[in-house]
Chain A
Amino acid sequence: MGVGLVLILITSLIFPGIVSVVKAKIAGRKGPRVMQHFYDIIRLMKKGNIYSRTTGFLFQLAPIIYFSTLLTAVFFIPVGNYKALLSFEGDFVMFAYLMASGRFIMIIAAMDTGSGFEGMGANREAFYSLLAEPVFFIIMGSIALHTGHNSFYDIFSNLYVESALTYFVSALSVYLIFWVSMIENSRLPVDDPQTHLELTMVHEVMVLDHSGFELGLIQLAGGLKFAIFGSLIFNLVLPIQNSYFLQLTFFPIVQVIYAVLVAFVESFRARNKMMRNAQWIITLSALSIVVFLTILIIHEKVGMLP
């Protein structure tokens, strides 16, 4: 049980590094070391904090709460043959709300600065995550319905009944969760972390006023988010039914592939027009609804609904 947790935490530290290395290679640049991202965070954490006079205690508290919600969320995800640290019926709902509350506190903090830019960024972030939330819920809901269980561990240990439908649902879920992770991490095509114009930023503009230790925490949290979604994807690709050893060997491989994919998407895909974002995200929800309805029909559970 501990091994899985450690693996996720390690992934969270290396993941952004892999992404930037692969991106640099694709662009033909020399690129940073894999651990550079980690060193940057350490450097940030050594620095002192500077606070704007308009901000209150909430602003200082927010990054810590944000980071801790994500850290708690990690405890919900099973890797390997054991239950996760926190595992109970319906834990994926709790998991989703933990992620949401972290985002909520960051949005509140952004509002607290009183800056127009940060308000705008917070507005966008709230809107996009509002749209992306149903995707995650509907996908997890359909898989739960399909397997007949409603905690992460039970779902993933009962996922692979041999049928074309299961493979298809898993494949589509991986596809959707991949894009959800891109939205949640404010990456392309919804947001570009490397943009230099505040007007086009989403996430970056929200954390403009944070500095030092707190900025480091926020960056750590970004890696954690990737690791969380990466483990979810891993569980869909290689569920718990497989042997423990196989799981542990393949976990890093899947994570690296995921990171490379992210890098590829970031290198080759243009950012959406701001006004097209909403439509793009809602399409993901629509796709997930199709999956959900199919599973309903397959399991003849429509009668249960009004």
Chain B
Amino acid sequence: MALLFFFIISTLLALSVFSNKNRSINFSAASIYSLLHISLSIYAYINLNDLDSVYYKFDSLGIILNGLLSIILIPVFWHIRYFLDRYIPDRKMKGRFISLIIILSTALSSIYFADNIVIVWVSLEITTVAVTFLIYHERYPDALEAAWKFLFISSFGIVLAFIGILLLSVKVSNAQDSSLSYTHLQAVSHLIDPLFMKAAFLLLVTGYSIKMNIFPLYPATVDAKTIAPFPVNALTSTAVLNGGFVAIFRLYSIISGTESAVWANRVLLIIGMTSLVIMSVQLFKVKRFSRMFAYSSMEHMALVIIALSLGKPGLYAAILHIMLHSLAKTGIFLHYGQIRAYYLSGWIHDSGDYMKQNGFSALVYLLGLMTATAVPPSGLFVSEYLILRALFSEGYSYIAIAIIVLLSVVMYVIFKYSMQLLYGKLPDNFQKDKAIINKYEPVSQIILFGLVFYLAYFTPGFIKELMNSVVQNLN
């Protein structure tokens, strides 16, 4: 029942700050929530593999991702302080922002731990609603457009996913609370008609692809991330993507035990490769930093999906990649908030000469860039290397080579745009007196990037154990 208490307390916290105007109450609620979230992660780790009511289960993957979210939430709440002070003058809206973030994180925890396919579906819909309002939080027409697209396409995807769930329930449903649990579905997966299974897989992956920012429903996500406030991006580009991954992974764990497993692997491989190709082409057109990083997330998620398509051999690498990417992307988006505050614009052509103007921040940005694009000392290089090695050893050499080529293209483009920021000419409309600069802000990013390095090269034993148990549990 621990999760039930968690949900109730979170809801109360969210309600208490929803229309609250007091700054200190806002942030004490945020702090309480962070502590609560961390204690949930610890509680889950202590009760590993235990059921929590019929709908939830503390399994290894859930614990890893929930722990990640707990870690991410601390710097995100820290930076939300800056964001609210700078851009949101209305005091009521400040409370609402924090309230929505709490709702979003709670729904994400619900996705991570859910052992029931319908609970995942419902929780994903809640994240849709929360993210939509977060995107539209600054209330200007572009934000409205982005929020609408995200909301509409998400809802459409959710409906498709629901149809997929219905198809899955053909054989297994006996109107008992455990009938749609993943455990039960895995046990009866061989009884489900292969055609229905495949159709359900396609529909569900399509429906959830918008959350994971991959082909086919990626455009709305990319648009949303272009517009969303940076603390929101720090969550949607990490924790929400992980939520999408969990949803797809749990589904995959059902289908992987059946005769359709090979087919599912191929579908995932195609989705991953298509996403990678699309993003590397689209990347040439970007004009805003947030959009560039959104496509970068798409790249990493495509890699994760490709790793997942290998089944067991790629799974360890996929989970490691997800972890490291979450930490790195949080840092990148938090830093993007500082770039935007400094140049008063998120457009690439409005930036320049960062290195001379603001040396320390520029170095942090460079560090983050190297981490996110997996330049060798970075932690992400390790997981990418593992993915590529798995591809080679599974006999997908051509695909691995294609991926290497595409990744170099991506790296080139991202560095090209970043050079404009770091060393380019300072734009004429730059207003030095209005630029906001805070030398303590980059600290959180240094910690995050350091964490990426640490987790990749000196992975703690208990995390390794958790990841290995995820791999072992896949049948």
Asked if A and B touch directly (CB within 8 angstroms), the answer is no
